[in-house]
Amino acid sequence: EDQVTQSPEALRLQEGESSSLNCSYTVSGLRGLFWYRQDPGKGPEFLFTLYSAGEEKEKERLKATLTKKESFLHITAPKPEDSATYLCAVQAGGTDKLIFGTGTRLQVFP
Amino acid sequence: NAGVTQTPKFQVLKTGQSMTLQCAQDMNHEYMSWYRQDPGMGLRLIHYSVGAGITDQGEVPNGYNVSRSTTEDFPLRLLSAAPSQTSVYFCASSGWASGRRRSEETQYFGPGTRLLVL
């Protein structure tokens, strides 16, 4: 069964304290792995799509990487405005459907 | 572009009532989908559509109907509301550019509809 697990469930960081969020997955032939940011009371906001092991993508303080079993979202020198829930989703080969993890709730304190 | 719009933002229903959640996008995207989000469960796919006239079931389709008569609109119908359908509902769309994989297109989510069924 296709599955996505995100860890940790919650993460508290001091401003400037770099860290990583994990997304591990089991899927029948990965077609794509997606990262989203979700602020309270709002819809998810697309961040990255990764397709193959070894691929990396960056946006401001965020960097997403992909291996054959997991993806990491690295946050470098985070700021309070990076506080949000970060969602990971995978798309199996031969389907348009996305399977989401339950997210990591990130809080960055000044 | 307004992106993906959803109405209403909030709705209270009594058990057994029916209603339609509206979703529209102005980006000419072929792929649209409906999710529900519940605490500790993540986003779960209800129904999706790969183009006008084509719909398919997702992970949790029971109790919901969809249709896609135009590219822009993808309404979600609750036939007979139940308390288990209390949730936040998100509509999403993503484009398909010729020569590129669909997955490379950004998936846009609407602001959500919060539904409470008493």
pLDDT at B106: 73
Q: What's residue A1's pLDDT? A: 81
Distances (CA, A) of B115 to A103, B5, B15, B22, B40: 21, 16, 12, 13, 17
Under 8 Å between Cβ of B64 and B34: yes
Q: How far apart are CA B9 and CA B59, in angstroms?
A: 24
Percent of chain A with pLDDT over 70: 100
Touching check for B9 and chain A: CB below 8 Å?
A: no
Separation between Cα atoms, residue B4 and residue B64, nearest integer Å = 20
- The closest alpha carbon to A26, from A74, A73, A71, belongs to A71
Ramachandran category for residue B26: left, alpha or beta (phi over 0 → left; psi -120 to 50 → alpha): alpha
Predicted pLDDT of residue A79: 97
- Tell me the nearest-neighbour CA distance from B80 into chain A, angstroms: 26
Whether A100 sits inside 8 A of B42 (CB atoms) is yes
Residue A98 to chain B, least CA–CA distance (Å): 7
Model pLDDT, residue B42: 86
Assess whether pLDDT exceeds 90 at residue A67. yes
pLDDT band at A8 (very low <50, low <70, confident <90, very high): very high
- Yes or no, beta carbons of A42 and B111 under 8 Å apart: yes
Q: Report chain A residues whose CB lies below 8 A from the CB of B90.
A: 43-44
pLDDT at B99: 44
Cβ(A84)–Cβ(A24) below 8 Å: no
pLDDT of residue A28: 84
Pairing mode of beta strands B87-94, B113-117: antiparallel
- Per the DSSP assignment, residues forming a β-bridge with A104 are A86
What is the residue type of A99? Answer: I
Residues of chain B with pLDDT under 50: 97-99, 102-103
Q: What is the mean pLDDT of residues A67-79?
A: 96
Rounded percentage of chain A residues whose pLDDT exceeds 90: 78
Q: Which residues contact A62 (CB under 8 A, 6 or more apart)?
A: A47, A48, A73, A74, A75, A76, A82
Cβ–Cβ gap B103/A91 under 8 Å: yes
On whether the CB atoms of residues A32 and A48 are closer than 8 A, the answer is no
Mind listing the pLDDT tens digit for each residue in B76-86? Answer: 999 999 999 99
Q: Which backbone phi and psi does B85 adopt, to 5 degrees?
A: -95, 5
pLDDT score, position B101: 53
Per-residue model confidence (pLDDT) at position B105: 58
